[in-house]
């Protein structure tokens, strides 16, 4: 339901329906204007079978004139005669009798018209003294029109009740149609009231021979009473007899039926639905264009065959839909990426996705590097070329770009194997180099795919993006985001707040693992290792959350906190004046941070600590960004006195290159080599030669992961300097580490 309420189409429909049901009429002014315009343009003459005899006298006809006029008309042998004016018969009985005689000559052809006010109630009869007499002796019809808020006549019943008697309405009687009191008839406003044939009563009387003009016609004896005028669509205020004729003519068509506003709403909604959810590209535009045509033309066409289809609610529905879409598009335009002008990925995240769609994000390898290489004016061209390749490959028109090298779009949800091979095809498109200005770049792309229909769009885009990063990190072409990882994604998104909570509550803490000087068999330092006992998820391995914190860009706060804590611990452990060395780990992602050196300086200065007591362990990882800045940062830190250590040596992607590039003091041989030196000649050879290499370069060598005495003994023989491992001490909280160190120190230094 909440999804429906976010869809512009359903919002528009609900408002339109609410308007119909409540009868509030928000859209009424539209329709008034609409019908008024339609009938200004669409006009046809009133059939010649009607003739108005205009008495020219608002006060009604006196007995003498009435009887002369009636006789004159009767001599013309009309088909029917309607008397739509009052007869002021006076007191002269013989004159009255003359009128009666004249009337009686017509037999059943004469009918009296009673004009009713808008609220046609039975009270009317009391206001007209002649009325009961006429009603009792002649046939009477009533002209009774409902007037809308703008003063236009809209409909008339077929019958009304006067004084307990049902009488036909003028229009129904003229049209010769009979129906119940509940039924309504709707005038045919295409008849131009100005074309009704009219003759002045005085002219008839003068000529005294009206035969040819009247024969076989429907004659209405009428007066030009201005008080009775009513508004008629397309023609302003007119004499109501024109309405009665238009009502009668409407009844001559095959149908005379009101389809209600809902019929038009249904048609327009179906079109908008097709345009919004089903159609694409050109078809979508055609479907949308059809809406105004349908709104304008369909009611006219239906009206031509007698079906009334009021477009008010449909217009309201379309107008609201259009307004919301325009507003959404404006917001989207405001969400363009500044460099390329492509829509920002947030625009996709904040919108709604129709059913049956997959979200795809492509991560462009080395995007930042290429942007850094290109001159500024070509940045947009680069992004556009990527977007064009995507469009060519998959037909998606809307490509969204993140500030970095991610591009997202929406694909029709094909079966998985088809979707994967479709993306493989798209990947192949990127195998040919991109030409931007005079530059040529190879581009490798990695796709992330989200198929979790029904999940919020923002979450889906993030999922696809995370998957594309994962694909890139693992060197894979495509990574599918699996539903069970949504909880993980939510956790990753909340990582910032979680880390802050963990630091505040003490759930995140540092464990210290001793490092031994092999030659002297003494503890000479420790490595600070981060720990997280999450209140809900339990202990989280440092690798797991450090990787996530790196991904989420939240590693800074953690690193500075670790240094702060570790420096405090170093000072405590150095209280006895030993040279106790503390190692901390620096994430590859942090090494090129511009503020790194200042932050480290500020932290040690605040504690008044000597940077020489701190060893910074750096691991070679793919997350390291700008190598030049990284080397510069590390050089500066080293110049300030910090020791530098290359951690996990032998496992990184380019350990030897790293060793050549980085200014370092120490090399830590990774556990995976150390743990096998007893059993494997090869591993033993690797470790021995690494120790030699390090010594040649003037480095201290630390072996980590020593789990038994035999390994320690062998490393001692190989000339390794420092040792770390479970055999020598597990990572532990500061208090117990301090206790153990104090005990060991006394025994080591013979103080017991």
Would you tell me which residues interact with ligand C2E (CB under 6 A)?
513, 529-530, 541-543, 546, 562, 585-587, 617, 619, 647-648, 671, 704-707, 724-726, 731
| Sign of the CA dihedral with 53 first, then 56, 60, and 66 last | negative
Nearer to ligand C2E, 89 or 703 (CB): 703
C-alpha 339/C-alpha 349 separation (Å) is 19
In the region spanning residues 605 to 624, those forming contacts with Mg ion, defined by CB under 5 A, are 617
CB of 554 vs ligand C2E, minimal distance in Å: 12
CB of 648 vs Mg ion, minimal distance in Å: 4
Secondary structure letter of residue 253 according to DSSP: S
3-state helix, strand, coil in the chain (%, to 5): 50, 20, 30
What does the block give as tokens for 551?
């991904």
**Cβ distance 512 to 581 under 8 Å?**
no
C-alpha 333/C-alpha 341 separation (Å) is 9
C-alpha 518/C-alpha 691 separation (Å) is 14
**Cβ distance 448 to 481 under 8 Å?**
yes
C-alpha 534/C-alpha 403 separation (Å) is 33
Secondary structure letter of residue 46 according to DSSP: P
With CB under 5 A as the contact rule, the residue among 244, 310, 647, 721 that binds Mg ion is: 647
Residue 383 partner contact from ligand C2E, Mg ion, none using kind-dependent CB cut-offs of 5 to 8 Å = none
Nearer to Mg ion, 192 or 648 (CB): 648
Q: What are phi and psi of 408, to 5 degrees?
A: -125, 150
Nearer to ligand C2E, 700 or 724 (CB): 724
Residue 171 partner contact from Mg ion, ligand C2E, none using kind-dependent CB cut-offs of 5 to 8 Å = none
CB of 356 vs ligand C2E, minimal distance in Å: 43
Residue 707 partner contact from ligand C2E, Mg ion, none using kind-dependent CB cut-offs of 5 to 8 Å = ligand C2E
**Cβ distance 85 to 111 under 8 Å?**
no
Residue 343 partner contact from ligand C2E, Mg ion, none using kind-dependent CB cut-offs of 5 to 8 Å = none
Nearer to ligand C2E, 55 or 615 (CB): 615
Compute the radius of gyration of the chain from its Cα atoms: 47
HEC assignment per residue over 427-447: HHHCCCCEEECCEEECCCEEE
Nearer to Mg ion, 246 or 566 (CB): 566
Nearer to Mg ion, 585 or 633 (CB): 585
Nearer to ligand C2E, 28 or 707 (CB): 707
Contacts of 32 (CB under 8 A, 6+ apart): 148, 150, 152
Q: Is 79 helix (H, G, I), strand (E, B) or coil?
A: coil
CB of 527 vs Mg ion, minimal distance in Å: 6
- Across 295-329, b (16+ Cβ under 10 Å) vs e yields beebbbebbeebbbbbbbbbbbbbbbbbeebeeee
CB of 699 vs ligand C2E, minimal distance in Å: 17
Nearer to ligand C2E, 192 or 617 (CB): 617
C-alpha 548/C-alpha 414 separation (Å) is 31
CB of 582 vs ligand C2E, minimal distance in Å: 12
CB of 587 vs ligand C2E, minimal distance in Å: 4
Residue 223 partner contact from ligand C2E, Mg ion, none using kind-dependent CB cut-offs of 5 to 8 Å = none
Q: What are phi and psi of 5, to 5 degrees?
A: -70, -10
CB of 455 vs ligand C2E, minimal distance in Å: 32
The strand pairing partners of 167, in sequence order, are 160
Query: Furthest-apart CA pair in the chain: how many Å?
Result: 154
Nearer to ligand C2E, 214 or 586 (CB): 586
CB of 509 vs ligand C2E, minimal distance in Å: 11
Residue 530 partner contact from ligand C2E, Mg ion, none using kind-dependent CB cut-offs of 5 to 8 Å = ligand C2E
Residue 587 partner contact from ligand C2E, Mg ion, none using kind-dependent CB cut-offs of 5 to 8 Å = ligand C2E
Interacting stretch for Mg ion, rule CB under 5 A, among 247-255, 316-324, 605-613, 642-650?
Answer: 642-650
Considering CB under 5 A, how many residues would be counted as binding Mg ion? 4
CB of 655 vs ligand C2E, minimal distance in Å: 14
Contacts of 100 (CB under 8 A, 6+ apart): none
Nearer to ligand C2E, 128 or 708 (CB): 708
With CB under 5 A as the contact rule, the residue among 648, 675, 715, 734 that binds Mg ion is: 648
- Give the residue among 218, 226, 250 at the shortest CA–CA distance from 113: 218
Residue 502 partner contact from ligand C2E, Mg ion, none using kind-dependent CB cut-offs of 5 to 8 Å = none
With CB under 5 A as the contact rule, the residue among 585, 690, 699, 700 that binds Mg ion is: 585
Residue 282 partner contact from Mg ion, ligand C2E, none using kind-dependent CB cut-offs of 5 to 8 Å = none
Q: What are the helix (H) ranges across 234-378?
A: 241-250, 260-273, 281-304, 312-333, 345-350, 367-373
Interacting stretch for Mg ion, rule CB under 5 A, among 16-24, 462-470, 631-639, 645-653?
Answer: 645-653
CB of 566 vs ligand C2E, minimal distance in Å: 8
Nearer to Mg ion, 188 or 647 (CB): 647
Nearer to ligand C2E, 74 or 724 (CB): 724
| Sign of the CA dihedral with 686 first, then 690, 693, and 695 last | negative
Residue 81 partner contact from ligand C2E, Mg ion, none using kind-dependent CB cut-offs of 5 to 8 Å = none
**Cβ distance 63 to 88 under 8 Å?**
yes
C-alpha 163/C-alpha 167 separation (Å) is 10
CB of 728 vs Mg ion, minimal distance in Å: 15
Binding site for Mg ion (CB under 5 A): 585, 617, 647-648
């Amino acid at each position: 339901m909440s999804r429906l309420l976010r869809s512009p189409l359903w919002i528009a429909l609900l408002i339109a329906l609410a308007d119909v049901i409540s009868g509030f009429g928000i859209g009424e002014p539209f329709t008034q204007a609409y019908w008024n315009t339609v009938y200004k343009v669409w006009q046809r003459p009133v059939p010649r079978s009607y003739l108005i005899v205009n008495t020219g006298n608002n006060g009604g006809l006196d007995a003498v004139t009435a009887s002369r006029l009636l006789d004159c008309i009767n001599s013309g042998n009309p088909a029917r005669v309607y008397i739509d004016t009052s007869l002021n018969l006076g007191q002269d009985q013989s004159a009255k009798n003359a009128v009666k005689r004249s009337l009686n000559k017509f037999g059943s052809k004469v009918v009296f018209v009673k004009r009713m006010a808008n609220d046609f109630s039975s009270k009317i009869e009391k206001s007209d003294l002649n009325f009961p007499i006429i009603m009792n002796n002649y046939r009477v019809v009533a002209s009774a029109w409902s007037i809308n808020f703008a003063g236009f006549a809209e409909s008339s019943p077929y019958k009304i009740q006067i004084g307990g008697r049902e009488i036909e309405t003028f229009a129904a009687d003229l049209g010769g149609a009979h129906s119940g009191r509940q039924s309504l008839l709707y005038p045919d406003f295409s008849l131009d009231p100005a074309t009704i044939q009219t003759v002045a009563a005085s002219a008839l009387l003068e000529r005294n021979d009206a035969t040819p003009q009247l024969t076989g016609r429907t004659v209405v004896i009428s007066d030009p009473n201005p008080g009775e005028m009513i508004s008629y669509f397309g023609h302003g205020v007119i004499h109501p007899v024109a309405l009665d004729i238009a009502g009668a003519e409407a009844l001559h068509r095959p149908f005379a039926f009101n389809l209600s506003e809902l019929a038009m709403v249904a048609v327009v909604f179906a079109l908008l639905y097709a345009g919004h959810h089903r159609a694409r590209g050109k078809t979508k535009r055609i479907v949308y264009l059809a809406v105004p045509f349908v709104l304008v033309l369909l009611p006219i066409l239906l009206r031509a065959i007698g079906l009334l289809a009021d477009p008010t609610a449909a217009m309201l529905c379309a107008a609201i839909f259009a307004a919301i879409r325009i507003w959404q598009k404006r917001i989207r335009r405001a969400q363009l990426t500044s460099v390329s002008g492509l829509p920002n990925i947030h625009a996709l995240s904040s919108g709604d996705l129709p059913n049956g769609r997959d979200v795809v994000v492509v991560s462009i390898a080395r995007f930042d590097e290429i942007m850094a290489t290109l001159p500024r004016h070509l940045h947009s061209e680069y992004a556009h070329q990527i977007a064009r390749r995507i469009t060519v490959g998959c037909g998606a028109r809307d490509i969204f770009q993140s500030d970095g090298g991610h591009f997202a779009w929406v694909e029709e949800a094909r079966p998985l194997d088809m979707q994967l091979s479709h993306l493989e095809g798209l990947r192949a498109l990127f195998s040919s180099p991109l030409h931007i200005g005079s530059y040529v770049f190879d581009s490798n792309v990695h796709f992330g795919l989200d198929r979790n229909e029904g999940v919020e769009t923002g979450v889906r885009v993030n999922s696809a993006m995370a998957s594309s990063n994962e694909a890139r990190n693992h060197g894979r072409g495509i990574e599918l985001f699996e539903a069970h990882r949504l909880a993980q994604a939510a956790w990753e998104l909340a990582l910032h707040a979680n880390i802050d909570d963990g630091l505040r509550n003490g759930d995140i803490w540092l464990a210290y693992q001793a490092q031994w000087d092999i030659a002297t068999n003494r503890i000479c330092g420790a490595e600070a290792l981060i720990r997280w006992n999450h209140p809900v998820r339990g202990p989280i391995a440092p690798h797991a959350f450090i990787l996530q914190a790196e991904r989420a860009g939240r590693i800074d706060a953690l690193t500075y906190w670790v240094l702060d804590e570790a420096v405090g611990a170093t000072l405590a452990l150095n209280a006895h004046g030993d040279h106790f060395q503390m190692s901390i780990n620096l994430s590859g992602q942090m090494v090129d941070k511009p503020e790194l050196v200042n932050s480290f300086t500020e932290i040690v200065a605040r504690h008044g600590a000597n940077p020489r007591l701190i060893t910074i362990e750096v691991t070679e990882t793919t997350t390291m960004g700008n190598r030049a800045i990284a080397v510069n940062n590390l050089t500066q830190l080293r110049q300030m006195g910090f020791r530098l250590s290359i951690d996990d040596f032998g496992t990184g992607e380019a350990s030897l290159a790293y060793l050549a590039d980085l200014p370092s003091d120490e090399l830590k041989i990774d556990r995976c080599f150390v743990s096998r030196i007893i059993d494997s000649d090869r591993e033993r050879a690797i470790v021995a030669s690494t120790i030699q290499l390090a010594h040649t370069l003037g480095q201290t060598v630390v072996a980590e992961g020593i789990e038994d005495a035999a390994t320690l003994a062998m490393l001692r023989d190989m000339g390794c300097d420092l040792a770390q491992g479970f055999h020598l001490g597990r990572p532990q909280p500061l208090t117990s580490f301090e206790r153990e160190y104090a005990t060991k120190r006394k025994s080591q230094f013979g103080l017991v």
